[in-house]
Amino acid sequence: MNGLLRRQKETSIQKCMSEIRTEIKQLGEFGLIDRIQQQFTLTNATSRTGIGDDAAVIDAGDDCLLVSTDMLVEGVHFDLAYTPIQHLGYKAVAVNVSDIAAMNGKTEQITVSLALSNRFSIEAVDALYAGIRSACENYKVDLVGGDTTSSSSGLVISVTALGRAKREQIAYRNGAKPNDIICVTGDLGAALVGLQVLEREKEVFLANPDMQPDLEKYQYLVGRQLKPEARTDIVFDLAEAGVKPSAMIDISDGLASELLHIAKNSQVGIRIYEDKVPIDHSTYETAIEFKLDPITCALNGGEDYEMLFTISKSDQEKIKNHPDIHFIGYVHERKSENVLITKAGTPVPLRAQGWDHFKA
């Protein structure tokens, strides 16, 4: 009798759980992050900022320690069919260094954790770490630890970056103010278009293994996808010019998505102009070749790892001649109004259509 009652109770619990099940894709990646964040409260006085920015901020004497972690998963973030494993090692470091730079800080140390299946050789691991070492040398970062384990589903790389910044120099996502100028570095959309090129060449090769990939005229685009660079130079350039961003974020999920992060966290509205968004000519021409809208690629293509930031109008003069900083719009008070002004002068609502792991 007890056994029967127990089974009935278990069946009732399972039925209840099935009735209240919520699919993760209903929240999406950022909704899931928000949900997790709401369940935790910072209790240590040294914990200044936790979940919700490019890096956590921890008091460490006169400076603050910045901590960020990113994971790259085979089949989700990279395809080894066309990704050189040495480039992958470099990229794994660069994307984490970029997060620290997005806080207006400098990375000093990293840890690297790997999950490897038995199809990887020692030589492959050596090549991966050669890329990691190259990035460490370029960004002047020390590898100080990590972990290794086996994997039944390919390669997983998790990098934690440790950086430092003066407390008063840290740039958060929530500091943008009405009338601030919106700035972006470099050019946008190249990494997404480079990915289209690589995927096309992979399909050609699978259809005919005797065909060699034709990547010569796409070198810039492919390079932006396979071996991006963190814009640490911008942190130094802004400091030299005496400019501290009021808000800052790196462009990993697409310009529109990052703009909306700043708008939401700062409780402001965003207005940008299509003709001010920087797009390289090769990105533009190749997007057209693939029957893609170049401005859509620039707005929603991830993995550019350029810097998006806002500055006060009084600082605009200090960096107006910087060759790689572009003024693309401004911040305003109407927080429900986040728009792109097209070349025809039509306002179009900004939508976060970039990569979302759980909605993709």
In angstroms, the CA 17 to CA 12 distance is: 9
Per-residue pLDDT tens over the stretch 45-92: 767 777 777 899 999 888 999 999 999 999 989 999 999 999 999 999
Task: Note the pLDDT of residue 358.
Answer: 43
Q: In CATH, what class is 181-349?
A: alpha beta
Q: Calculate the average pLDDT of the chain.
A: 90
> How much is the pTM?
0.88
E strand or H helix at 255: helix 255-266
Instruction: Supply 208's token pair.
Output: 């005919």
The reported pLDDT for the residue numbered 357 is 45
N- to C-terminal Cα separation, the chain: 48
Q: What is the mean pLDDT of residues 188-215?
A: 91
Question: Which DSSP state fits 83?
Answer: -
Domain edges within the chain: 32-169, 181-349
Residue-wise pLDDT for 244-256, tens only, equals 999 999 999 999 9
Distance (Å, whole) CA 100 – CA 109: 11
Q: Please report where in the chains the tokens 């990293």 appear, as a residue.
A: 110
Around 283, how many Cα atoms within 13 Å sit in the side-chain half-sphere?
26
Residue from 339, 269, 262, 271 nearest 308 by CA: 262
Q: From CA 30, how far away is CA 50, in angstroms rounded?
A: 15
Whether the pLDDT of residue 33 is over 80: the answer is no
The matching CATH number, chosen from 3.50.50.60, 3.30.1330.10, 3.30.420.40, 3.90.1300.10, for 32-169 is 3.30.1330.10
Question: Residue 353 pLDDT > 90, yes or no?
Answer: no
